[in-house]
Amino acid sequence: MGFLLGAYGKLAAGSRYRSLQARMMRIQSKIRRATRDVANMEKMIDRRQKMMEQELTLNNNMSKQMYQNMMVGSMQASKEYTDAMAIIAKGQSTDEAIRKTVSSDQLSAASQTLARLQSTSSQQISSMNSYADTNTALMKSQIENEIEYMRDTLLEPLKDEEDSLQLEKDTLESQIQVAKADYEACQKMEQADVKMLTPNYTGGQG
């Protein structure tokens, strides 16, 4: 009876062990695919964030440069600037006759006008730069929110699937160990009963 129980148990445990091993191979394949999907999604999101931040920085620098060029051009095109520069040019002329047409008071006034125009332009440029930086910081925060949303909606589900598959794999490993132990126990039972059923032909001779 023990022999039959052992043989049947060994067959059942062996079948269960092979079935669990087949499931394990499928799970391992799914885990590899899930891990690859997670890595690819992380790379895609990181690339997108880097691209958006680089574009934002580029646009900010371009805006600052364009505004600076505009303000400097506007200042240099003003009548005050051209008049002041004309007086200063005469005062610095190598021709003494031309230099004498400009008084020291005129030169001083022209220099003060030029300094005032340049100071006003610099203040306006600085104010615009500050505004551009504030706007850029706001847009960067929006980018971070968008990236966080992408991680929550696109990346986290993939990670959850990977974790779920890993949990299933751990459970299968435990089941495989149990099935293997059952198989070995039934095999030992079968072998022990076979030994007991084998006649002892040497018994009683002497």
Task: Taking the CA atoms of 32, 35, 41 and 46 in sequence, report the sign of the dihedral they define.
Answer: negative
**Do residues 123 and 131 make contact, with C-beta atoms less than 8 angstroms apart?**
no
DSSP assignment letter at 154: I
Q: What is the mean pLDDT of residues 63-80?
A: 93
Query: What is the radius of gyration, based on Cα positions, of the chain?
Result: 43
Helix (H) and strand (E) counts in the chain: 5, 0
pLDDT of residue 2: 46
State how far the Cα of 178 lies from the Cα of 16, in Å rounded to an integer. 10
State how far the Cα of 71 lies from the Cα of 128, in Å rounded to an integer. 10
Q: How far is CA 98 from CA 87, 108, 109, 110, in A?
A: 10, 17, 18, 16
Q: Round the average pLDDT of the chain to a whole number and report it.
A: 87
Q: What is the mean pLDDT of residues 112-128?
A: 94
List the single range of 93-107, 142-156, 178-192 with lowest mean pLDDT: 178-192
pLDDT of residue 164: 96
pLDDT band at residue 28, thresholds of 50, 70 and 90?
very high
Domain boundaries, the chain: 2-70+121-197
Better pLDDT: 48 or 206:
48
DSSP assignment letter at 205: -
Better pLDDT: 186 or 192:
186
**pLDDT exceeds 90 at position 68:** yes
